[in-house]
Amino acid sequence: MKIAFIGLGNMGGPMAANLMAAGHDVTGFDLTARPDGLRMADSAAAACAGADVAITMLPNGTILRQVAAEVIPALTAGAVLLDCSTVDVDSARAVAADAQAAGLGALDAPVSGGIGGAQGGTLTFMVGGDADAFARAKPLFDIMGQKAVHCGPSGNGQAAKICNNMILGVTMIATCEAFALADKLGLDRQAMFDVVSTSSGSSWSMNAYCPAPGVGPTSPADNDYRPGFAADLMLKDLRLSQQAAVGADADTPLGQVATDLYRRFVEDEDGAGRDFSAMLPRFAARGRA
């Protein structure tokens, strides 16, 4: 396939490289990034000339809307606009509606799996959009990832992503504050892990990404909390969940508390640039607020 790839940062760069390695004809565009070995165009529109699929992997919904306004007229009817960024549900649905009005297929397909998943081609895609566009993009999902779940119409991929990450933010905070409580009660962290990871308090945050250094499988905690999944990105996703909750009139009190805690951690404390599991040393250093 002839593929345009716009947004070649930490995630988009390796995803584009995997598509190229699988034999696809990829042309990239990015305002700053210049990945080795990738043919680059002078603009997003130029990258899209003659493309069967245009993939975007951009920082947020505002930028996605700007790029889509340039890209949609540059694609020919029948092509697919495949956005893999994490953005707000409203932006995803607006961009998809514009693309469909221009005769294009449109998919919102945010990912889980981080930079390691992008490099290894093991991402999970959560996909919103029509079944025909999903079927056409499926061979690309199979190269860039290990799983693609079709979640329903446009915007539902973003809905799945922010609901998942709201659970992740809440369970990570719960896991970290429980470790900090266990410390103060004199409970050994290894014993805490051995019990909780096989009991009803278990979760991905505890079992697969344990925030306590030296306990459980290797995680960013064992690398001085270098990300991994940065607290800043968790804050971005939690804010998207609360923006969606307000728009949909959904009651998400724990999501709101998690957003407030990560906002303080990133903006007022030392959390910026640290892994989101660095909430454990934050709680451990504090007394009861």
Residues found near ligand NAD in the complex (CB under 6 A) = 6-12, 29-33, 44, 57-59, 63, 66-67, 85-86, 111, 114-115, 229, 233, 236
Q: Whose Cβ is closer to ligand NAD: residue 192's or residue 235's? A: 235
> Which one from 2, 161, 184, 236 is the annotated catalytic residue?
161
184 is catalytic: no
How far apart are the C-alpha atoms of 155 and 270, rounded to whole Å? 34
Task: Measure CA 20 to chain center.
Answer: 22
Close Cβ partners of 209 (under 8 Å, ≥ 6 residues apart): 172, 217, 219, 220, 277
* CA separation for the pair 128, 110 (Å, rounded): 9
Smallest distance, Å, CB 16 to ligand NAD? 11
Which residues face 107 on adjacent strands? 82, 129
Instruction: For the CB of residue 43, give the shortest distance to ligand NAD in the complex, in Å.
Output: 9
Alpha-carbon span 218 to 221, nearest angstrom: 8
With respect to ligand NAD, which residue has the nearer C-beta, 2 or 239? 239
Smallest distance from the beta carbon of 56 to ligand NAD, in angstroms?
A: 8
Within 10 A of 24 (CB to CB), how many other CB atoms are there?
18
Smallest distance from the beta carbon of 239 to ligand NAD, in angstroms? Answer: 11
Name the residue nearer to ligand NAD (CB basis): 44 or 244. 44
Cβ distance to ligand NAD smaller for residue 114 or 213: 114
Q: Which residues are catalytic?
A: 161
